[in-house]
Amino acid sequence: AANGTAGGTATARAFPNIALVKYWGKRDEAVMLPAAGSLSLTLDAYATTTAVTLDASAASDRFELNGEAQAGDRLRRVTRFLDLVRERSGSTARALVRSHNEAPTGAGLASSASGFAALATAASAAYGLPGDPASLSRLARRGSGSAARSIIPGVSVWHAGDGDETSFAEPVPAPEMRMVIVTVDERQKAISSREAMRLTALTSPFYPAWVASTEQSLEAMLEACRDGDFTRIGRITESHALRMHAVIQSADPPVRYLAPTSIAVFDAVSALRDRGVEAYATADAGPNVCVVVRPAEAEAVADELRGFGRVRVVGPGAGAELID
Ligand code: 2P0
């Protein structure tokens, strides 16, 4: 159908996002409220496309990822999410969910963000729930926190909020930028973000300082975005990312996501700055590194970093959308 829905079927596409101010820790796991706000860039690559088809006669949901039927934890997570949608819509219909992911799943390229943003958008349309960005962002958050931000195009802030109603993402005007993604290792990470976040919050003596400093970084980042100050955006991005990895490493038992090659990329980026090229590194819950650059310098920086792994230049992308 023209708007992506027809008779209980809807298809949506969403992109992953990379945070410049990171989300690491929840204050409420049941409703998925973050310990602090965060800010990210939604990308124009590695899309997830998801079709939701209602099936009134089925006894359970089915979930296919990249053409393969899923069972166990992955299916349960989709079913729990659809239970929330069914509760709100008053429908009891089960669904067939077919998802195609262009990024390697679990490699730290935020596939849960694009995944639940696409699922929230398609399921809302298929079950007849509101499709405005704030509603979709709040719903996507329930599947995976970072998915709240993938509803929104370009740069967005996810507000910590006072509760379920006020914790959603919205757009932030920001200067033009690109990211150079350096894929150091495509393998599935050893410990999930969700588990490592929980461990960090429970055991790190630095966790309260991390939460407080994230609020400060977010305030400074919003100001830098408003001012169009690329240099300040970059500096906050890199120092905040290193603080996140520091607090993660301070958990008991410790968790370390950065590999020796990841550190080498941070060093190479620092050396680029010494030569007058403005580049700033960040990394999520895995060894891959994303480098924030000005558009005019993206290709040159990508060339400099090719020796460390597969390199791809990405830009700001669309928010979650219903498609044909
Ligand atoms: C972020 N990450 O802000 C941070 C930085 C990874 C490092 O959000 O438990 O998949 O589903 O809410 O969103 C990854 O964690 O965790 C993440 P859940 P999520 O992008």
Q: Taking 80 as the threshold, does the pLDDT of residue 61 lie above it?
A: yes
Mutate to test the pocket of ligand 1, among 23, 101, 141 (most ligand atoms within 8 A of CB): 23
Contact call for residues 10 and 126 (beta carbons, < 8 A)? yes
* Nearest-angstrom CA–CA distance, 120 and 139: 6
Nearest Cα residue to 107 out of 313, 295, 290: 290
Give, for ligand 1, the residue of 284, 288, 289, 290 to mutate: max count of ligand atoms closer than 8 Å to Cβ. 284
Q: Which CATH architecture has domain 5-174?
A: 2-Layer Sandwich (3.30)
Residues in the chain: 324
Indicate which residue's Cα is closest to atom 15 of ligand 1: 193
Q: For residue 55, give the nearest of 82, 88, 84 by alpha carbon.
A: 82
Is the pLDDT confidence value at 27 over 50? yes
What mean pLDDT is predicted for residues 17-40?
A: 98
Question: Going by CATH, does the domain composed of 178-314 fall within 3.30.70.100?
Answer: no
DSSP 8-class letter at 306 = G
Q: What is the rounded distance in angstroms from the CA atom of residue 159 to the CA atom of residue 218?
A: 10
Interstrand relation of 169-171 and 155-158 (parallel, antiparallel or unpaired): antiparallel
- Cβ count within 10 A of residue 129: 17
Tell me the CA–centroid distance for residue 129 and ligand 1, in Å: 25
- pLDDT tens per residue across span 164-198: 999 999 999 999 999 999 999 877 677 999 999 99
Q: Where in the chain is the domain with CATH 3.30.70.890?
A: 178-314
Q: What is the CA radius of gyration of the chain?
A: 19
What is the residue with the minimal CA distance to atom 14 of ligand 1? 193
pLDDT at 106 over 80: no
Q: How close is the Cα of 114 to the center of ligand 1, in Å?
A: 11
- Kindly write down the DSSP assignment for every residue of 84-148, as one continuous string: HHHHHHT---EEEEEEEESSPTTSSS-HHHHHHHHHHHHHHHHHT---SHHHHHHHHHHH-TTHH
- The pLDDT assigned to 105 comes to 55
Query: Which atom from ligand 1 is nearest to the alpha carbon of 141?
Result: 12
Closest C-alpha residue for ligand 1 atom 9 = 194
From the CA of 17, give the closest atom in ligand 1: 20
In which band, very low, low, confident or very high, does the pLDDT at 101 lie, cut at 50, 70 and 90?
very high
Quote the pTM value.
0.96
Residues with CB under 6 Å of ligand 1 are 19, 22-24, 38, 112, 144-146, 193-194, 284-285
Give span(s): CATH 3.30.230.10, the chain.
Answer: 5-174
pLDDT value at 108 more than 80: no
Q: Tell me the CA–centroid distance for residue 32 and ligand 1, in Å.
A: 11
**320 closest CA partner among 169, 208, 109, 94:** 169
**Within the chain, where are the H helices?**
72-89, 111-127, 133-143, 147-150, 193-203, 207-227, 230-249, 260-274, 298-305
Residue 185's pLDDT is 85
ipTM for the whole predicted complex goes beyond 0.95: yes
Among 29, 193, 256, say which to mutate for ligand 1: greatest number of ligand atoms within 8 Å of CB.
Answer: 193
Kindly give the distance from the C-alpha atom of residue 139 to the centroid of ligand 1, in angstroms, as a whole number.
Answer: 15
How far does the centroid of ligand 1 lie from the alpha carbon of residue 176, in Å? 24
Note the pLDDT of residue 144: 97
pLDDT in tens, 243-289: 999 999 999 999 999 999 999 999 999 999 999 999 999 999 999 99
Q: Which atom of ligand 1 has the smallest separation from the CA of 38?
A: 3
Q: In one letter, which amino acid is 160?
A: A
Please answer whether residues 126 and 68 qualify as being in contact, where contact means their C-beta atoms are separated by less than 8 angstroms.
Answer: no
Work out the average pLDDT over 105-130: 86
Contact criterion met (CB below 8 Å) for 55 and 7: no
